[in-house]
Amino acid sequence: MDRIIDGALFENMVKGGAENLYVNKSIVNDLNVFPIPDGDTGDNMYMTIDSGASAPDDGKGDLGSVSARIAHGMLLGARGNSGVILSRIFAGIAAGLKDTENADIQTFGHALEKGSEEAYSAVSVPVEGTILTVFRDAVSYAGGRINGNSTLDSYFMDLMNELQRSLERTPELLDVLKEAGVVDSGGAGLVYIVEGMKNAIDGVEIKHGERPVQSAAKSVNVDTFTSDSVLEFGYCTEFLLRLQSSKINIDEFDIESFTELVRSMGDSVVSFLDGTIVKVHVHTMHPGEVLNECQKYGEFLTLKIENMMLQHNETVIENRFEFKKEQVRKKFGVVAVASGDGLVEMFRSLGADQVVDGGQSMNPASGDFIKAFEQINAETILVFPNNGNVILAAAQAAGMYDKADIRVIPTKTVGEGYSALSMLDTEGKTADEVQEEATEYAAGVVTGFVSKAGRTTEMDGVSIVAGDYIGFSDDVVYSDSPDKAKAAEILCDRLDAGSYDVILLLAGGGAAREETENLYAALRDKYRDSEIIMRDGGQPLHDFILVLE
Amino acid sequence: MFVIFTDTDTDMTPENAERFGYHLISMPYSIDGKTIYPYEDFTEFKSKEFYDMLRAGTIPTTSAISKEKYTEYFEPYFKNGDEILYVHFSEAMTMTFTNMRAAVAELQEKYPAAKFHTIDTKGITIASLIIAEEIGDLYKAGKSAEEIIEWAKDQVDCFSIYMFADDLKFFKRSGRVSGFSAAMGTLIGVRPIIHINAEGKMVSIGKERGKKNALNRLLSYVVEKGDDVKNHRILIAHSDDEEDALALADMVREKFGDDVRIEIIVANPTAGSHCGPNCLGISFHSQRRV
In DSSP notation, A304-364 reads: EEEEHHHHHHH-------TTPPPPPPEEEEEEEEE-SHHHHHHHHHTT-SEEEE-SSSSPP
pLDDT of residue A335: 94
Q: Does A423 touch chain B (CB under 8 A)?
A: yes
A384 and A483, same structural domain? no
A255 and A304, same structural domain? yes
Pairing of strands A476-481, A462-464: unpaired
Nearest to A282 by CA among A271, A296, A274: A271
Contact check, Cβ <8 Å, A263/B95: yes
Is residue A208 within 8 Å of A15, Cβ to Cβ?
A: yes
A164 and A30, same structural domain? yes
Please give the distance of CA B14 from its chain centroid, rounded to a whole number: 15
Question: Distance, in angstroms, between A353 CA and closest chain B CA?
Answer: 9
pLDDT of residue A205: 72
Q: Given a cut of 70, is residue B76 above it in pLDDT? A: yes
Count of CB atoms within 10 A of residue A124's CB? 17
Is residue A269 within 8 Å of A289, Cβ to Cβ?
A: no
pLDDT of residue A91: 94
Give the C-alpha separation, B5 to B72, whole Å.
13
Give the C-alpha separation, A464 to A449, whole Å.
15
Contact check, Cβ <8 Å, B188/A427: no
Chain B residues with CB-CB distance to A263 below 8 A: 64, 95
CATH of the domain at A69: 1.25.40.340
What share of chain B has pLDDT > 70, as a percent? Answer: 95
- Does residue A208 sit within a domain? no
Q: Given a cut of 90, is residue B205 above it in pLDDT? A: no
Q: Does B186 touch chain A (CB under 8 A)?
A: yes
Mapped onto helix, strand or coil, the DSSP state of residue A378 is strand
- Indicate if B157-285 has the same CATH topology as B2-156: no
Q: Does B76 touch chain A (CB under 8 A)?
A: no
Alpha-carbon torsion angle A470, A475, A478, A481, nearest 10? 10
Total tally of structural domains belonging to chain A? 4
pLDDT of residue A482: 95
- Does residue A291 sit within a domain? yes
Contact check, Cβ <8 Å, A350/B212: no
Residues 80-109 of chain B with CB under 8 A from chain A are 95, 98-99, 102
The packing angle between helices A41-53 and A7-29, to 10°, is: 160
Nearest to A405 by CA among A362, A440, A385, A376: A376
pLDDT of residue A208: 52
pLDDT band at B57 (very low <50, low <70, confident <90, very high): confident
**Which of A288, A314, A340 finishes a domain?**
A314
Contact check, Cβ <8 Å, B188/A549: no
Tens digits of residue pLDDT in B235-251: 999 999 999 999 999 99
Residue type, A537: G
pLDDT of residue A78: 82
Pairing of strands A4-6, B61-62: unpaired
Domain B157-285 CATH assignment equals 3.20.20.70: no
Q: What does the domain layout of chain B look like in residue ranges?
A: 2-156, 157-285
A450 and A522, same structural domain? yes
Q: Which domain, by its residues, includes A249?
A: 233-314
Contact check, Cβ <8 Å, A502/B209: yes
Q: Cα separations (Å) of A125 from A234, A401, B95?
A: 19, 44, 10
- Does residue A374 sit within a domain? yes
Give the C-alpha separation, A5 to A12, whole Å.
11
Mapped onto helix, strand or coil, the DSSP state of residue A152 is helix
Alpha-carbon torsion angle A505, A332, A179, A262, nearest 10? 30
pLDDT of residue A114: 95
Q: Given a cut of 70, is residue B227 above it in pLDDT? A: yes
Q: Which of A502, A520, A547 to mutate to test the interface with B (most CBs of B within 10 A)?
A: A502
pLDDT band at B67 (very low <50, low <70, confident <90, very high): confident
Pairing of strands A4-6, A102-104: antiparallel
pLDDT of residue A314: 40
| Helix or strand holding residue A267 (H, E) | strand A267-274
Q: Given a cut of 60, is residue B176 above it in pLDDT? A: no
Give the C-alpha separation, A532 to A501, whole Å.
9
- Does residue A324 sit within a domain? no
pLDDT of residue B137: 97
Give the C-alpha separation, A304 to A153, whole Å.
39
Q: DSSP code of A214?
A: P
pLDDT of residue A35: 43
Q: Given a cut of 70, is residue B29 above it in pLDDT? A: yes
| Among candidates B63, B102, B183 on the partner chain, residue whose Cβ is nearest the Cβ of A265 | B63
Give the C-alpha separation, A111 to A95, whole Å.
7
Question: Distance, in angstroms, between A257 CA and closest chain B CA?
Answer: 7
In DSSP notation, chain B reads: -EEEEEEGGGT--HHHHHHHTEEEEPPPEEETTEEE-TTTT-SS--HHHHHHHHHTT---EE-PPPHHHHHHHHHHHHHTT-EEEEEES-GGG-SHHHHHHHHHHHHHHH-TT-EEEEEE-SSSTHHHHHHHHHHHHHHHTT--HHHHHHHHHHHGGGEEEEEE-S-HHHHHHHT-EE-S-TT----SSEEEEEEE-TTS-EEEEEEEESHHHHHHHHHHHHHHHBSSGGGSEEEEEESS-HHHHHHHHHHHHHHH-TTSEEEEEEPPHHHHHHH-SS-EEEEEEBSPP-
| Helix or strand holding residue A278 (H, E) | strand A277-284
Instruction: Enter the ipTM.
Output: 0.72
| Among candidates A256, A425, A502 on the partner chain, residue whose Cβ is nearest the Cβ of B189 | A502
Residues 501-520 of chain A with CB under 8 A from chain B are 501-502, 504
Nearest to B69 by CA among A261, A249, A250, A278: A261
A193 and A79, same structural domain? yes
**Which of A314, A338, A361 finishes a domain?**
A314
Give the C-alpha separation, A393 to A85, whole Å.
53
Chain A residues with CB-CB distance to B102 below 8 A: 256-257
pLDDT band at B174 (very low <50, low <70, confident <90, very high): low
CATH of the domain at A362: 3.40.50.510
- Does residue A227 sit within a domain? no
**Which of A260, A288, A314 finishes a domain?**
A314
Contact check, Cβ <8 Å, A422/B185: no
* DSSP bridge partners of A452: A469
pLDDT tens for the 549 residues of chain A, in order: 578 999 999 999 999 999 999 888 888 887 766 444 445 788 889 989 999 998 888 888 899 999 999 999 998 888 878 888 999 999 999 999 999 999 999 999 999 999 999 999 888 778 899 999 999 999 999 999 998 888 999 999 999 999 999 999 998 898 878 877 788 889 999 999 999 999 888 887 766 544 444 433 344 566 667 777 777 778 889 999 999 999 998 888 888 889 888 988 888 888 888 888 898 989 898 999 999 999 999 999 888 888 877 754 443 333 333 333 335 677 889 999 998 888 998 898 888 889 998 877 678 888 889 989 988 888 999 999 998 888 888 988 898 898 899 999 999 999 999 989 888 888 778 999 999 999 998 998 999 999 998 888 888 888 889 899 999 999 899 999 999 999 999 999 999 999 999 999 999 988 999 999 999 999 999 998 898 999 999 998 899 999 998
- Does residue A157 sit within a domain? yes
Nearest to B277 by CA among B56, B36, B10: B56
- Does residue A464 sit within a domain? yes
pLDDT of residue A323: 36
Q: Does A175 touch chain B (CB under 8 A)?
A: no
Chain A residues with CB-CB distance to B184 below 8 A: 350-351
Chain B residues with CB-CB distance to A419 below 8 A: 209
A452 and A348, same structural domain? no
* DSSP bridge partners of A356: A337
Half-sphere exposure of residue A437, counting CA atoms within 13 Å on the CB side?
14
Give the C-alpha separation, A441 to A421, whole Å.
8
| Helix or strand holding residue A281 (H, E) | strand A277-284
pLDDT of residue A493: 95
- Does residue A404 sit within a domain? yes
Give the C-alpha separation, A46 to A62, whole Å.
25
Q: Given a cut of 60, is residue B185 above it in pLDDT? A: no
A351 and A257, same structural domain? no
Nearest to A364 by CA among A372, A356, A355: A356
The packing angle between helices A80-96 and A131-144, to 10°, is: 30
Class of domain B2-156: alpha beta
Residue type, B121: T
CATH of the domain at A527: 3.30.1180
Q: Cα separations (Å) of A343 from A415, B36, B127, B189?
A: 10, 38, 38, 15
pLDDT of residue A77: 80
Give the C-alpha separation, A163 to A151, whole Å.
18
Q: Does B32 touch chain A (CB under 8 A)?
A: yes
pLDDT of residue A105: 93
Chain A residues with CB-CB distance to B186 below 8 A: 349
A263 and A183, same structural domain? no
Q: Does B112 touch chain A (CB under 8 A)?
A: no
Q: Does B68 touch chain A (CB under 8 A)?
A: yes
